Structure 1
Amino acid sequence: MITTIFQWTIVTFVLTVVFANRTSMESLYTDLLRDYNPHIRPNDDQTQRTVISVTMHLISINEIEELTGVMSTVVNVDVMWRDPRMTWNKTKYIDVTDILFPQELVWKPDLVVTNPAKKVRKIGFEDIMIRYNNNGIAYWYTGDYLETSCDIDVTHFPFDRQVCTIVMIPWNYRQNELTMSIAQNNVQMENFTANGEWILYKTTAERVGDRPYEYIYFNLYLERRSSFFIINLFVPVVLLVFLNCMVFFLSPDSGERVGYAITCLLAITVYMTLVSETIPKTSKPICILSIVLLVLLMVSTVICFLTIISLNFHFRSKQKPLPEWLAKITRALRCANIKRRCGNNPRSDRRERKETSTETSQSQTDVESSKTQSIEDSEHTSNGKSVHLEKESENCHEPQDHDLETWKTFAILFDHYCFLFCCISLLIGSLYFVIFTNIM
């Protein structure tokens, strides 16, 4: 019996508290909205400014379109202000400390993004509630999907960095009526989801007073992830061009040189066509990568042109000798190659061999007279070897065989230096692209 009475007492107390809280909430709701005008600023003295605090939370960066200059983001915006008309004594309403009101029934600032990509509209949704506490502090937690304009500079693509800005303004109020403050000097990133193409390495928030209005700039500093473009776009084209340079090592008599060079050129062209979708389609400004790829394509075209010229030199008739000026160039280039193979100082080697031969001859003068004939033979043989070494060294330094200056000899040297020229051009162009775009 006592247990039953105790249980009924507890149930009655709980129902009384719940009913009292609900009744208190309804009474508070009615009392606060009585004679409340949502179109008037909350200040008792309308000559004073209404101060609101704004904080932005970035949720995600969906896309950045280089051609149209549009950045798509999802954001949450927290706005806080004080409304003296929304204060109450919580003891009078059974410790009710918070209450929610539909935003169309109370005053709120109309925040508008001033750099939209499509149309100008208010931030937020129509069915969002505004929370008030008993001190009159209002909390408006809203969010939106924003498409804002962004000035995209793709000059250093894919190593480019961009600064995109979201600009907000209280649309209906001037600077002397409403002041916006920034709760944090940056954009909050607690719930941010990283983008697969862009790295967000810095954010800032700043308030700019441009009479008669006041703006808040939320700046997003972005850096493109370049690994995909380097591995799938730049490196394959460089390798194809280097493969095209190897045409100068093919034998001219194989008959495959022109076909090999043109095949590599077509492979580069087809590959660039396939990957052109990944390059920003804009000419303001044009990216350096497009220029580098064009230069590489031109190098491959020049290789085909030089291959045909080399074959023309190789298969020229022997009845038509080299011109004198071309023969001199061929002789100089051939001697440079021979000099590298024979050593840098052939004359010093020749002098050392002569001194060795002379010392040997003088040491043999004290031998018995019975060996004179053998000594003379030995000296003759030694001198003959010295003369042979001297001629060989002289040939390394100043070749005298004019019959080697033929069209085939010139074609071989032409291939050698064309290969060096193309490889050096390819290396310089690649290093320029990688280093210059990263430095700038």
Structure 2
Amino acid sequence: MAGQSWRFLWLVLTAQYGMVHSYDTSVETELLSSLFNSSTYNRFVRPSSLVNVTVKFVAISLHELDIKSQTMSISGYLEVEWTDDRLTWSGAYSSVLASTVSEDTVWYPPLAIVNSVGDPEILYDGITPIRMFPSGKMEWLPLRKFEVHCDTNPSFYPFDTQTCGIAMAPWTYSSDLVELVAASGDVFSLDFYHTNGEWEYVDSFSSTQTVQRAGSESITLVISVKYRRRPQFHIVNTILPIMLLGFLNGFIFALQVDAGGKIGFVLTVLLAYAVYLTLVAGHIPTTSDHMSILSILLLMVLMLSVLSIIVSIYVLKICGHGDDVPIPCVTKRITQVLACLSCKKGFRRPNKKVDVEEEGANGKNKKDDKTSNGKNKKDDKSKQTWVQDISAEDTDEDALTWRDVAETIDRFCFVWYFIITGLMFGGCLFTMLYGYANYL
């Protein structure tokens, strides 16, 4: 049975390729000599009137996706395929299953990366082999480190998703001579891809654009790839410190109104925010098309820090007023409103101390008769005095002092600073996370 199977296989191969020959270098050498005869083949002549060229990108590793410089650097190679009917063989050369030639020997589509940030050039190095198959199929695998321009959107940084494209075109050939199309299946292959620590691959797709070059239409194929940032590093090193500094700044209003270190405390936090604003600005593109939500958040918190300094200076100033300085009616009304908004109880009059006399044990003051001694006398020993505190129960505005005004302002700012800061952080984080979850 085994012998019959081998004989059957030999008959199939014989019927398909004629006579089966073993590989011999002299056979391939003779094949190449016959194919590239100068009288029958010219490498400057395209194989047909319209050459269909299919392209596929095989990624190896993503080096960098920099939203500051708006560039993407990625290593990989292109799988470029087309058919050249002039380069087919069979019969005596059927033992040669494939052969390779250099770019200087055969016609190939002169592809150019039109959005390259380096020196614009055609993909050519003179040594990359081009594989040939008996059916006339040609396969070219140019290996490069591609550095291309990428229109980035930093709005949701560091929860951003970026889409970058590799745009290529058959240079000097119009669309009616060479048609560039994406290969079927995955146009961006991850078969040999090494994952990146900062960016996570999400999706890829291809598109074509028709542009006018030198008065003729040309097809540009764009292979786009979508990456989503891994935000853990930026959460720990950027987001959390900003939030902690934001909440720390509110405790300036928890200090005593006449504390000497209030201004130094708030200035230190302000400088820390200025440093973080500089760091974040160093990673965001200098463009006005899209504003980063994180930059807007830092700006708003910086404004709150500046406002805290102004309020603290004003509080220290009014706290130094003496009781002989009258409080304007407008200030009294505003203070009462601020106390109500910050859930502060009413103002009470300061305690007053008065002396009270009590009659002696006999229940009355003893007086000597004028007729007995000729003068009025009071028995001091029969009287006892003590000091009684009388607290004012009324809460009218006359009980207000400058210190009460300062403490009310501090309490109002303390309560509402945390409310406003919490709303700002919550709103910004929700917006950024929404964009991250929906791949905006």
Q: Same fold (TM over 0.5)?
A: yes
Alignment-derived partner of residue 320 in structure 2 = 315
Tell me the distance in 1 between the aligned counterparts of 2:119 and 2:59: 21
Count residues with an aligned counterpart: 362
Measured after TM superposition, the shift of residue 182 of structure 1 is 2.0
Question: Are the equivalent residues in 1 in contact too, given 2:253–2:410 (CA < 8 A)?
Answer: yes
Measured after TM superposition, the shift of residue 214 of structure 1 is 1.7
CA-to-partner distance for each residue in 1:200-232, whole Å, 9 max, x for gaps?
A: 211002334556212211011222333322321
Match of 2:220 among 215, 223, 232: 215
Alignment-derived partner of residue 61 in structure 2 = 60
Alignment-derived partner of residue 34 in structure 2 = 31
Alignment-derived partner of residue 98 in structure 2 = 98
Alignment-derived partner of residue 135 in structure 1 = 135
Alignment-derived partner of residue 42 in structure 1 = 47
Question: Are the equivalent residues in 2 in contact too, given 1:150–1:164 (CA < 8 A)?
Answer: yes
Alignment-derived partner of residue 10 in structure 2 = none
Alignment-derived partner of residue 52 in structure 2 = 51
Gapped regions of structure 2 (runs ≥ 5): 1-19, 347-390, 436-440
Measured after TM superposition, the shift of residue 439 of structure 1 is 3.8
Residues 334 and 268 of structure 1, relative CA distance in 2, 3 Å threshold: closer
Question: Are the equivalent residues in 1 in contact too, given 2:61–2:194 (CA < 8 A)?
Answer: yes
CA-to-partner distance for each residue in 1:353-406, whole Å, 9 max, x for gaps?
A: xxxxxxxxxxxxxxxxxxxxxxxxxxxxxxxxxxxxxxx9xx6xxx44655321
CA-to-partner distance for each residue in 1:400-439, whole Å, 9 max, x for gaps?
A: 4655321122222111101122212211221232123344
Residue 198 of structure 1 aligns to which amino acid in structure 2?
W
CA-to-partner distance for each residue in 1:292-346, whole Å, 9 max, x for gaps?
A: 212212211211221121222323101123223433454566575348xxxxxxx
Normalising by structure 2, report the TM-score: 0.74
Question: Are the equivalent residues in 2 in contact too, given 1:66–1:282 (CA < 8 A)?
Answer: no
Tell me the distance in 2 between the aligned counterparts of 1:64 and 1:438: 20
Residue 168 of structure 1 aligns to which amino acid in structure 2?
M
Residues 81 and 262 of structure 1, relative CA distance in 2, 3 Å threshold: closer
Question: Are the equivalent residues in 2 in contact too, given 1:86–1:136 (CA < 8 A)?
Answer: yes
Alignment-derived partner of residue 22 in structure 1 = 25
Question: Are the equivalent residues in 2 in contact too, given 1:330–1:410 (CA < 8 A)?
Answer: yes
Measured after TM superposition, the shift of residue 127 of structure 1 is 0.5
Question: Are the equivalent residues in 2 in contact too, given 1:21–1:93 (CA < 8 A)?
Answer: no
Residue 42 of structure 1 aligns to which amino acid in structure 2?
P
Measured after TM superposition, the shift of residue 173 of structure 1 is 2.1
Residue 233 of structure 1 aligns to which amino acid in structure 2?
T
Residue 51 of structure 2 aligns to which amino acid in structure 1?
T
Measured after TM superposition, the shift of residue 145 of structure 1 is 1.7
Tell me the distance in 1 between the aligned counterparts of 2:34 and 2:175: 32
Match of 1:423 among 408, 418, 428: 418
Match of 1:269 among 268, 271, 274: 274
Residue 24 of structure 2 aligns to which amino acid in structure 1?
N
Match of 2:344 among 332, 337, 356: 337
Equivalent residue runs for 1:356-371 within 5 Å: none
Residues 329 and 216 of structure 1, relative CA distance in 2, 3 Å threshold: closer
CA RMSD of superposed structures (Å): 2.8
Gapped regions of structure 1 (runs ≥ 5): 1-16, 340-391
Residue 261 of structure 1 aligns to which amino acid in structure 2?
V
| Structure with the higher fraction of residues in helix conformation | 1
Residues 291 and 136 of structure 1, relative CA distance in 2, 3 Å threshold: same
Question: Are the equivalent residues in 2 in contact too, given 1:102–1:128 (CA < 8 A)?
Answer: yes
Normalising by structure 1, report the TM-score: 0.74
Alignment-derived partner of residue 302 in structure 2 = 297
CA-to-partner distance for each residue in 1:141-185, whole Å, 9 max, x for gaps?
A: 222122222222223322333222111111132222222232235
Alignment-derived partner of residue 75 in structure 2 = 74
Q: What percent of counterpart residues are identical? A: 27
Alignment-derived partner of residue 111 in structure 1 = 111
- Any idea what SS the aligned residue of 2:42 has? coil
Residues 283 and 82 of structure 1, relative CA distance in 2, 3 Å threshold: closer
Residue 433 of structure 1 aligns to which amino acid in structure 2?
C
- Any idea what SS the aligned residue of 2:142 has? strand
Greater mean alpha carbon deviation, residues 252-261 or residues 409-418? 252-261
Q: Please say if 1:284 is aligned against 2:288.
A: yes
Tell me the distance in 2 between the aligned counterparts of 1:233 and 1:72: 25
Alignment-derived partner of residue 412 in structure 1 = 407
Alignment-derived partner of residue 377 in structure 1 = none
